Chains A and B, each alone.
Chain A
Amino acid sequence: MTHRFQAAVVGMGPAGMAAAIELARAGVKIALIDQAPLPGGQVYRQPPGEFSMPPGLAPSRHNIGHALRRELAQAGSSLTFLNGAVVWGAFSPGTLSVHQTGRNYEVSYEKLVICEGAQERIIPCPGWTLPGVISLGGLQKMITTQGIAPRGRVLLAGSGPLLIGTAAAVVGAGASLVGVYEAVSFTSLMSLGLGMMAWPRLLPESFSYMSELIFKGVKVHFNWGLKTLSGDDRVREATLVRLDGSGAPIPGSERIVPVDVVGIGSGLQPHVRLARLIGCRTEYDPDRRYFAPVTDTWGQSSQTGVYIAGDGGGVGGADWSEVQGRISGLHASWSLNRMGCDQLGSFSSRWLRSKRRLQAYVNALHRVFTPKDGHYSSITPETVICRCEAVRAGDLMARMKMGEQDLTALKPSRLAMGPCQGRGCEGIATEMLRLHDVPRENLKALHLRPPIIPMPLSAFSKHTERVSGSRS
């Protein structure tokens, strides 16, 4: 069965909500699709409807998320919410395969805005796959949307705004921290302040996080990183090490800390799955150390009629994503003849101005937090690179020494062959290839196949019924 729409927006984070608002206001018949039950994406993720959280637990900018949701609710009747719906395939141009609470159907579109958001960048170290080691964002969302907090000795390590944000959430929930270890230096972090002047809306948030930490007496250790994690059926001990200016560990500076729960993460990278499945071109960005889709000012990808907006097109945060979503939504409305060139110009000028101002801050963010070569020193031969298939760095290193020069050539190790299809390991293996000095043009993202999200066989029940029927 096919449901026809003029436009489809995939992802209900700030970019997807903003794109849907602009399209619906222009009267375009659109579908807004997300696997989550409620709009917000990860950054404005809401607690479930059954919950009511104390005000202290709410992140400082959740009012912006509320405002966007209100705007979305009032945007117009041409909008259809497909929530709790997973887009898992795209088998012919202009259609998406969707699975929603036991039903399978197709959504057809003339214009598509993909807002897949970001995923956390992880720099592995031995022991990082032990139970009890959780991504920073995952830990933060456990506290703020599910109301559970880590107990015992909690340690956070990595880099970027999420490190401080998660630390504030942990102490805000009354849990105790044995340490926060940031890989970059204090001075480079302070240089971010200048970039923030271009977008002062972020200052109160940063200030509230920092003051929460200072108030609760949490010390952030700069120029420190994880060397190893160890344990048995769960993480028990962390070895930390001081880092030099290039991010490399300083021998002899190790510090061993007993731990119960560890949060790790070194920033964000675009989560590019549907866009790649559809064939949108991606490129490796050597300065930001990730693959990002190639897009123009309006967010148009290499595929006609397909836009990519928000962190999924290049990481910049919630405000950046909202602005990109507005711009792509307006352009898609124009290309569906729902507004003239004049209107597109006047409606979009405000958002294009915001984008130029935000760009300075986003550039500063990447300059400060993008990992340096030395930060990857924590990857030893026994370090697991692919969680799903337990592929270790040593196996990949041996293959590189034998002359393998790209991700596809590393796949016989079973790299990226597990259920997550390389979400975790692709970026890490790419950095290993880069540090092995393979030519830059060899750094290409893997080819993806449907389903892009693990699906139970029962999701294809029609097909299985036919198969079993033919046997009897």
Chain B
Amino acid sequence: MNETPGFFRLDDVKRGEALEIKVDGKAIPAFAGETVATALLAAGLLSCQSHDDRALGVFCNIGQCCSCLMTIDGVSGVRACQTLVSPGLVVESRRLQKRGSRP
């Protein structure tokens, strides 16, 4: 298979207006009505944040698990699966370090 595995937009779906969002400095295509999570997956970007070396991506897709928290338009800790795309939206992955546990 030549195409990157991940997600693809289904052909026979009518979407909103085509636009672009910026993810970690790179422009990716999106359509009005999509969530940030959808645009990421369709661009082959599966990871939203990392804790030390461990990457986390979209998991529950209904706003519960907080696995897709990203920095969106400068606000940290926003759920990508609950945020709709808009032209020029600036999205950044989060890099966190694990806090220590207590005995």
Binding site for B on A (CB under 8 A): 35, 42, 47-54, 57, 119-120, 129-135, 137-139, 141-143, 146-153, 173-174, 233-234, 260-261, 271, 384, 387-391, 395, 412-414, 418-420, 423-424, 453-454, 456, 458
B84 touching A48, Cβ below 8 Å:
yes
Q: Which 6 A-B pairs have the closest CB atoms?
A: A50-B16, A152-B5, A138-B61, A48-B33, A131-B57, A260-B5
CA A233 to CA B56, docked complex, whole Å: 9
Write the chain A residue with the least CB distance to B48: A131
Known pairs A120-B60, A389-B99; A51 contacts B16 (CB<8 A): yes
B61 touching A49, Cβ below 8 Å:
no
A142 touching B38, Cβ below 8 Å:
yes
**Which residues in chain B, 1-22, are within 8 Å of chain A measured between CB atoms?**
1, 3-10, 12-17
**Which residues in chain B, 43-93, are within 8 Å of chain A measured between CB atoms?**
46-48, 51-52, 54-67, 69, 75-79, 81-82, 84
User: What are 9 A-B contacts defined by CB distance under 8 Å?
Assistant: A51-B15, A51-B16, A131-B48, A138-B60, A151-B3, A153-B5, A390-B52, A391-B101, A423-B65
CA A412 to CA B100, docked complex, whole Å: 9
Within 8 Å by CB of B38, from A53, A146, A151, A456, lies A146
A424 touching B5, Cβ below 8 Å:
no
Known pairs A51-B33, A234-B47; A423 contacts B64 (CB<8 A): yes
Known pairs A414-B99, A418-B66; A53 contacts B13 (CB<8 A): yes
A387 touching B65, Cβ below 8 Å:
yes
CA A120 to CA B8, docked complex, whole Å: 24
**A130 to chain B: which residues have CB within 8 Å?**
55
**A413 to chain B: which residues have CB within 8 Å?**
101-102
B64 touching A147, Cβ below 8 Å:
no
Write the chain A residue with the least CB distance to B14: A52
CA A412 to CA B103, docked complex, whole Å: 7
**A388 to chain B: which residues have CB within 8 Å?**
66-67
Binding site for A on B (CB under 8 A): 1, 3-10, 12-17, 31-35, 38, 41-42, 46-48, 51-52, 54-67, 69, 75-79, 81-82, 84, 98-99, 101-103
Known pairs A148-B41, A453-B63; A173 contacts B7 (CB<8 A): no
**B8 to chain A: which residues have CB within 8 Å?**
148-149, 151
Known pairs A35-B82, A424-B65, A458-B75; A150 contacts B15 (CB<8 A): no
Write the chain B residue with the least CB distance to A37: B84
A150 touching B61, Cβ below 8 Å:
no
Within 8 Å by CB of B66, from A42, A54, A260, A454, lies A454
Task: A454-B66, A456-B78 are known; give 12 further A-B pairs, CB within 8 A.
Answer: A129-B56, A131-B56, A133-B59, A134-B59, A148-B9, A148-B10, A148-B38, A234-B57, A390-B51, A419-B69, A454-B77, A456-B76
B76 CB → nearest A CB, Å: 7
CA A390 to CA B42, docked complex, whole Å: 27
CA A390 to CA B61, docked complex, whole Å: 20
A184 CB → nearest B CB, Å: 23
CA A52 to CA B15, docked complex, whole Å: 7
**B66 to chain A: which residues have CB within 8 Å?**
387-388, 418-420, 423, 454
CA A132 to CA B4, docked complex, whole Å: 12
**A35 to chain B: which residues have CB within 8 Å?**
63, 82
A233 touching B55, Cβ below 8 Å:
yes
A322 CB → nearest B CB, Å: 19
Which has the most chain A C-beta neighbours within 10 Å: B38, B65, B69, B76?
B65
Write the chain B residue with the least CB distance to A41: B62
Within 8 Å by CB of B10, from A139, A141, A173, lies A173
Known pairs A131-B55, A135-B60; A454 contacts B101 (CB<8 A): no
B77 CB → nearest A CB, Å: 5
CA A50 to CA B34, docked complex, whole Å: 9
**A53 to chain B: which residues have CB within 8 Å?**
13-14
Known pairs A129-B54, A261-B6; A389 contacts B98 (CB<8 A): yes
**A271 to chain B: which residues have CB within 8 Å?**
64
**B42 to chain A: which residues have CB within 8 Å?**
148
Known pairs A142-B7, A233-B55; A456 contacts B75 (CB<8 A): yes
